[in-house]
Amino acid sequence: MLKRLLNLGILAGALLLLAACGVQQGPSEAALSPQGSLKSMIDVNVVLKADVTPAALDQLAKYGRVKDVLYEIDALTMKIRSGDLAKLQADPVVAAANPDAERTGAPVDTVSVDDFAKGLSTWDLDAINVTDFGFDNRQVAYDGTGVYVAVLDTGLVDSWRQYFPQERIATEYAKSFGGGGGEKGNVSEQPNKWEHDQNSHGTHVTSTILGYSLGGTPVNGVAPMATVIPVKVLNQNGSGWSSVVAAGITYIGDLKAGPLAGSPVVINMSLGGPDLDAMEKAAIDYAISQGVIIVASAGNEGEAGMGYPGAYPPVISVAASGWVGEWTASSWWWAVNVGDPTSPGDFYITDFSSRELPGQDLDVAAPGSWVVGPYQVNSGQTSYYYLGGTSMASPHVAGIVALMAEKDHALTALQAEGILEGSAIYLAPGCRDVLQPNGTSEHFCWDADATGAGLATADAALAATP
């Protein structure tokens, strides 16, 4: 979930970057309408109590038109009259039904190296103890080898090969899903659109997991030898529908049940909305039952509460933390060392990071303030931005989970969540004064509802993984 964005210009070599003068606010992904409608007709996601059968479809036909069916999760999409929603929800074959919920969050030159494990450390990787100051100094024995991380997002930009090694992107499994309640209603596959994104959100998220090339300089990633599966479920504006997200989740569940049965699989979802969608919930349950571990952003709505699917308990949710060393020098993001051992006093919780409301489940926090990565505003022109949001925090934890799964291929979602929470560094409620890009200081305060179990770190999580 994108919240803060600041441009970078490359000056006098790949490592000298200056912030542009302003901060732009990204789209809020939780303050969204829960449904798409056309006159009196609405698109609805339905989960059945039993298998989808011809008899069940006949039963539902009296309410409207069935459009798409996901047999793996006993779910389907329909277009019905808005006045018939309550009747549909009460039908004996229906377990749950709700209006489709909105969700927000051509290849060129290749990167000449196949991983960034010896690349430059950045403040956020230093903060989670994956790397230390400088180059070639990983602090953990694992790099994600053999683990697949599906990034359900906007896909990758055309020039992704200028940022990432080709070997690290599973092009054979990459997929794009489109449609949903706000468009034609039908969820459809869109061949090759996954690598023609115009939004860049998914590219920035991927860069945290794998690392990236910064004008030829390798920058480290949390799990630089993991293999990313790009799954485009958000459109070129960075928004989409829960029916499409559910299709993407189900697709990854099917991969785990099929060709990837012998490999650990993690999903990162830096997206969300205000309500838990029935079809999305069923897809999450299905994927987890196949052995997939799901990580998602907590949301950018502050005191208004968490977004879904992050707030759904089986999902590992991530709040956004920041570092008090931000902006202490022009090169702070790569040239200033985060102190060891990790001190809670060096970190804070951002004001935009969603707080946990009753019935919601916030698990851990990770760096989500001013994270640098590739982000294009002009198609085909490489550029790099500071982004801030729980969208940026989530892939840090997804990467840590990939390292854990490399160590223990049998790691389950429940085990991963327990290890992360049990090994997190408690961040007590409090306040910090933090320097801002314009030279002023901002006062950040938070309560116990903002941190989950605390700050996730790779070394502690790996030590606790059997």
Q: Which residues are catalytic?
A: 153, 201, 391
> For 115, what's the count of Cα atoms within 13 Å in the CB-facing half-sphere?
16
List Cβ<8 Å contacts ≥24 apart for 87-91. Answer: 87/63, 88/44, 88/46, 88/60, 88/63, 91/59, 91/60, 91/63
Instruction: Give dist(CA 458, CA 411) in Å, integer.
Output: 15
Strand duo 75-81 + 64-70: pairing: antiparallel
User: Any residues with CB less than 8 A from the CB of 263 and at least 6 apart, and which?
Assistant: 146, 147, 148, 409
Other C-beta atoms closer than 10 Å to the C-beta of 419 total 23
The answer to whether the CB of 71 falls within 8 A of the CB of 202 is no
What tokens were used for 334? 């790569």
The answer to whether the CB of 408 falls within 8 A of the CB of 466 is yes
The answer to whether the CB of 190 falls within 8 A of the CB of 85 is no
Helix (H) or strand (E) holding 371: strand 371-374
Among the listed residues 413, 394, 401, the one whose alpha carbon sits nearest the alpha carbon of residue 292:
413
DSSP three-state, residue 225:
coil
Instruction: Give dist(CA 317, CA 295) in Å, integer.
Output: 6
Which is it for the CA torsion 334, 336, 337, 338, positive or negative?
A: negative
The answer to whether the CB of 349 falls within 8 A of the CB of 446 is yes
The amino acid sitting at 61 is A
b/e 239-258 (16+ beta carbons within 10 angstroms → b): bbbbbbbbbbbbbbbebbbe
What tokens were used for 281? 């919930």
The answer to whether the CB of 210 falls within 8 A of the CB of 164 is yes
Among the listed residues 7, 3, 127, the one whose alpha carbon sits nearest the alpha carbon of residue 386:
7
